[in-house]
Amino acid sequence: MHRKTLAELSAALHKKDISSIELTQYFLARIGRHKALNAFVTLEPEKSLAQAKAADALLAKGQAPALAGVPLAQKDIFCADGWRTTCGSKILSNFVAPYDATVIRKFNDAGMVCLGKTNMDEFAMGSSNETSFYGPVRNPWNTETVPGGSSGGSAAAVAARLAPAATGTDTGGSIRQPAALTNLTGLKPSYGRVSRYGMIAFASSLDQGGPMAQTAEDAALLLNVMAGFDPRDSTSVEAPVPDYTAALKHSIKGVRIGLPKEYFGEGLSPEVAQVIEAAVGEYKKLGAEIVEVSLPNSQLAIPCYYVLAPAEASSNLARFDGARYGYRAPEYSDLIDMYKKTRAQGFGSEVKRRIMIGTYALSAGYYDAYYLKAQKLRRLIAEDFRQAFETCDVILGPTSPTTAFKLGEKSDDPVAMYLSDIYTISVNLAGLPGMSIPAGFDGKGLPVGLQLIGQYFGEERLLNVAHQYQQATDWHKRIPKGFE
């Protein structure tokens, strides 16, 4: 049962081969057997089963939406009414959301079942899931390695088939990099495609929610539910939502795939490079035309991001003050002391580091030198992509410079950790859609992800190019040992 895709589970539910209650119980039991991965922060079996019961009633009437009754894991950054929502932080360890994020409401309206809330880096700051207050997540491909981050719990849960699919969010790579490190298909939509309402803010001009799934087809099915204009999110875009499954089957003959030369230079592991080259060969066989493109400002993406994202985070995280909700320091002398102690005790060191960098970059006297300069770089980076897309339809490269690294290997070296997102961050700075799909394995048997980057609102094309590759290869079907 756990090897079935969403498309297969949906068919089984509609044919009444299985009920949503049975399916939900099945996955909850599997989660219970694999607690050592630490993929989930909160489970509420009664809530999940109540949703499953309601879905079964809908299915019995024969008018249920496509994914009704299918269980799904939710990254613990999405507020879900009545569920504890921690965002990986101690400061929200006692926070029970009083409302649904738009994404959660859409999944509820589609009749889907929430299996639980997944572990993540604190406030989505990280690339390894090691900054979580709830402990690191283990990668099912090798439990001594990280699953990537910040959506590490979602990645481990789907890779180990504890859930058929999950949600993630991506500010600089947090859907694509963990998808790459765990052999999943992850999609970060264009900025504005998926509502951010009720999704706890890290860096508002970069954050975007999206699906983490076994296949491109499943990612398309989930995006069909998640996408769309939301009057409650002023940056959500009022553009019609296509049926993302409609274009999957189109031939990709003649599609121009651009390889950015900057993505194949120093810092890329030779084993990853080899896998990506083989994938390019596969695309040639499928009839795609391969062209070289250049993204000359690529090396500026990390410094630019590490000014802008912390600047936005320092402002967004000002709301966690112990006064309104969440953790409050038990002992303090006056109001200011309460703020200080609450934040000192409630935030972990990576979050504090970002708040300090961001506050500094925004302060009078430094604003022009850092924040404004970074905004200008951001524009140049977006312009690079605009030019590249004059000669290609989709950009292809590695998702991550290496495969999964060992737990603890980079946790004392923030800069080494930041480099994990070297190929993903510029996509968020430009607001473009990006995907990671399974493309092979290194010598240690760890998965390698292939990144596809599309034009604004070009998710259909991306999903099509990913799906065609998955019709010709079976990397995405591989499951880690011990979880078959």
| Cβ burial 400-433 (10 Å sphere, 16+ → b, else e) | bbbbbbebebbbeeeeebbbbbbbbbbbbbbbbb
Is 89 or 174 the residue whose CB approaches ligand GLN more closely?
Answer: 174
Q: How far is the CB of 175 from ligand GLN (least distance, A)?
A: 7
Residue 460 is a binding residue for ligand GLN (CB under 6 A)? no
List Cβ neighbours of 87 (8 Å cut-off, separation of 6 or more).
Answer: 76, 77, 120, 122, 123, 124, 200
Which parts of 107-126 interact with ligand GLN (CB under 6 A)?
124-126
Q: How far is the CB of 350 from ligand GLN (least distance, A)?
A: 8
Is 126 or 480 the residue whose CB approaches ligand GLN more closely?
Answer: 126
Q: How far is the CB of 170 from ligand GLN (least distance, A)?
A: 5
Q: What are phi and psi of 67, to 5 degrees?
A: -100, 15
Question: CA 448, CA 153: separation in Å to the nearest integer?
Answer: 18
Residues in the chain: 484
Question: CA 173, CA 422: separation in Å to the nearest integer?
Answer: 9
Residue 150 is a binding residue for ligand GLN (CB under 6 A)? yes
Q: Give the distance, in angstroms, between the CA of residue 76 and the centroid of all CA atoms in the same chain.
A: 12
Residue 127 is a binding residue for ligand GLN (CB under 6 A)? yes
Looking up tokens 């999405």 gives: 78
Amino acid 113 reads V
Which parts of 257-316 interact with ligand GLN (CB under 6 A)?
309
Is 170 or 321 the residue whose CB approaches ligand GLN more closely?
Answer: 170
List Cβ neighbours of 269 (8 Å cut-off, separation of 6 or more).
Answer: 401, 402, 403, 442
Is 267 or 482 the residue whose CB approaches ligand GLN more closely?
Answer: 267
Question: CA 15, CA 145: separation in Å to the nearest integer?
Answer: 40
Question: CA 419, CA 421: separation in Å to the nearest integer?
Answer: 5
Is 248 or 308 the residue whose CB approaches ligand GLN more closely?
Answer: 308
Q: How far is the CB of 66 from ligand GLN (least distance, A)?
A: 29
What is the 8-class DSSP label of residue 37? G
Which parts of 235-254 interact with ligand GLN (CB under 6 A)?
none
Instruction: Give the pairing of strands 394-398 and 256-260.
Output: parallel
Q: How many residues bind ligand GLN (CB under 6 A)?
A: 13
Q: Residue 108 is inside which H or E element, if any?
A: helix 102-109
Query: Within 13 Å, how many C-alpha atoms sit on residue 169's CB side?
Result: 36
Looking up tokens 């999940």 gives: 48
Is 168 or 258 the residue whose CB approaches ligand GLN more closely?
Answer: 168
User: Residue 464: how many CB atoms within 10 A of its CB?
Assistant: 24
User: What SS3 class is residue 373?
Assistant: helix
User: What SS3 class is residue 316?
Assistant: helix
Q: Annotate each residue in 72-111 with x if it binds ligand GLN (CB under 6 A) or - if it does not, as one string.
A: ----------------------------------------
- Catalytic center residues: 75, 150, 174
Give alpha helix (H) positions in 320-430: 335-346, 349-362, 373-388, 414-418, 425-430
Is 65 or 414 the residue whose CB approaches ligand GLN more closely?
Answer: 414
First to last CA, the chain: 11
Is 161 or 410 the residue whose CB approaches ligand GLN more closely?
Answer: 410
Q: How far is the CB of 309 from ligand GLN (least distance, A)?
A: 6
Q: How far is the CB of 166 from ligand GLN (least distance, A)?
A: 15
Q: How far is the CB of 353 from ligand GLN (least distance, A)?
A: 10
Q: Taking contact as CB under 6 A, which single stretch among the options 105-113, 165-173, 252-260, 284-292 is the one that binds ligand GLN? A: 165-173
CB neighbour class for 136 (10 Å; exposed up to 12, middle 13-18, buried from 19): buried
Question: CA 51, CA 345: separation in Å to the nearest integer?
Answer: 36
Among candidates 77, 75, 68, which has minimal Cα distance to 106? 68
Q: Annotate each residue in 368-407 with x if it binds ligand GLN (CB under 6 A) or - if it does not, as one string.
A: ----------------------------------------
Is 201 or 221 the residue whose CB approaches ligand GLN more closely?
Answer: 201
Which parts of 167-206 interact with ligand GLN (CB under 6 A)?
170-174, 202
Is 10 or 171 the residue whose CB approaches ligand GLN more closely?
Answer: 171
Which parts of 202-231 interact with ligand GLN (CB under 6 A)?
202
Kindly list the residues in this chain that would bind ligand GLN in the complex (CB under 6 A). 124-127, 150, 170-174, 202, 309, 421
